Amino acid sequence: MTAVMQEAGAPFGAAPPSGDAIVTEGLTKRFRGGQVAVDALDLAVPRGSVFGFLGPNGSGKTTTIRMLLGLVAPTAGEYAVLGLPQAEALPKVGALVEGPAFYPYLSGTANLMRFDAADPYAVRGTVRRRVEEALERVGLSAAAGKRYRNYSLGMRQRLAIAAALLGPRELLILDEPTNGLDPQGTREVRALVKEIAADGTTVFVSSHLLAEVEQMCTHAAIMRAGRLVAQGTIASLNGGLVTRIRVETPDEPGAARVLGSLGLAEVRIEGGQVLAELGGHAPEQINAALVGEGVAVRGLAVVRPSLEDVFVGLTGEGFDVDG
């Protein structure tokens, strides 16, 4: 398939073929007043992925999403969604950006009917069936006739996602879908995202929560101050960093000596624990060696690198969720 890139200032430029659901090249947004919200962004979102668009508040996620949806014009660069011209792509894209305003006194069904009526791409004759299917998809069939004001936070957000699923979608774009939800609502939305992805829809989901992206996504791009810090599969992002072993023991020098004698690198004592790079060693053999040498082991853990470590390693900064 030939991808069609939307170019800043030129609606449909030709571009190299791509199987990706979203591609951007040098995508940039400078707001009036000079603020660069998105700075030369090169993204590649594989079809079928659950792609976490991760960054602290203010790092440019919403602005990028608004450009991809044609709501904000880029200052420079190009982008392609589903490899199609915008007018052909948008009907196949469901989006949740700054949640739709629902009427509190109307039911879930009535709200979705109203929402659909405002969609210029929707096929009118099929609205009842599409609303029913979307409610079913998000698990709200039983509550379809209930007034919106009686919905829980999780149900409200699931209804917002249903609004994005009123047509057959190849790509779902969700901007911070768990923001402002209680723990139960957050769990519901994360589970729903995974289910939608399991049906074959590519999901592009922004979040400022590292752990959320790690749990929910197959791939991630990490943003900081408008710039891309890293992107790839979660495993490849974490893979560049070393896995460590952590031993809790009353005999720190003894444990450090044993780890050193086994050939583990970077052995150090830190706050009542002994840490070392695991390398190719088996944790159970390390445990056996410690016990065999008479070192009491209170706890032994394999510490795998997290996306937070990736962020800190690449930027030298902590991941400040308050931006």
If the CB atoms of residues 57 and 285 are measured against ligand ATP, the closer one turns out to be: 57
Stretch that binds ligand ATP, among 57-65, 139-147, 234-242, 262-270 (CB under 6 A): 57-65
Nearer to ligand ATP, 31 or 121 (CB): 31
CA atoms within 13 A on the CB side of 37: 19
Q: What is the rounded CA–CA span in Å between residue 9 and residue 60?
A: 20
- Alpha-helical (H) ranges within 118-173 are 127-137, 153-164
- Cβ distance 15 to 3 under 8 Å? yes
Give which of 19, 47, 74 is closest to 171, Cα–Cα: 47
Helices (H) and strands (E) in the chain, counts: 11, 15
Residue at token pair 């957050």: 186
| Crossing angle of helices 108-117 and 153-164, rounded to 10° | 30
CB of 53 to ligand ATP, least distance (A): 9
Q: Segment contacting ligand ATP (CB under 6 A): 14-22, 55-63, 106-114, 234-242?
A: 55-63
Quick one: 55 or 108, whose CB is closer to ligand ATP?
55
Measured on CA atoms in the order 66, 71, 75, 78, is the torsion positive or negative? positive
Binding flag, residue 31, ligand ATP (CB under 6 A): yes
Please identify which residue in 15, 21, 37, 134 interacts with ligand ATP, judged by CB under 6 A.
37
For ligand ATP, which stretch binds (CB under 6 A), given 41-49, 58-66, 149-157, 232-240? 58-66
Give the pair of three-digit tokens for residue 181.
């939800």
- Report yes or no: 113 and 83 within 8 Å, Cβ to Cβ: no
Residue of 26, 46, 58, 283 that binds ligand ATP (CB under 6 A)? 58
Q: Which listed residue (61, 130, 158, 244) binds ligand ATP by CB under 6 A?
A: 61
> What beta strand segments (E) does 82-175 contain?
93-96, 171-175
Q: Is 263 left (phi over 0), alpha (psi -120 to 50) or beta?
A: left
Site string for ligand ATP, 133-172 (x = CB under 6 A): ----------------------------------------
Residue whose pair of structure tokens reads 């044993």 in the numeric block: 258
Cβ proximity to ligand ATP: between 55 and 185 the closer is 55
Stretch that binds ligand ATP, among 9-17, 56-64, 81-89, 247-255 (CB under 6 A): 56-64
Q: Any idea which residue has 């190009």 for tokens?
A: 78
Nearer to ligand ATP, 59 or 157 (CB): 59
Q: Given the rule CB under 6 A, which of 60-68, 101-109, 161-169, 254-262 is the region that contacts ligand ATP?
A: 60-68
The residue within the footprint of ligand ATP, chosen from 43, 50, 60, 286 (CB under 6 A), is: 60
What number of other Cβ atoms are within 10 A of residue 56's Cβ?
Answer: 20
Shortest Å distance, C-beta 234 to ligand ATP: 20
CB 54 within 8 A of CB 228: no
Q: Among residue numbers 170 through 209, which ones bind ligand ATP (CB under 6 A)?
A: 176, 208
55 binds ligand ATP (CB under 6 A): yes
Number of residues forming the site for ligand ATP (CB under 6 A): 13
Nearest by Cα to 40 from 22, 60, 11: 60
Residues in the site for ligand ATP, rule: CB under 6 A? 31, 35, 37, 55, 57-63, 176, 208
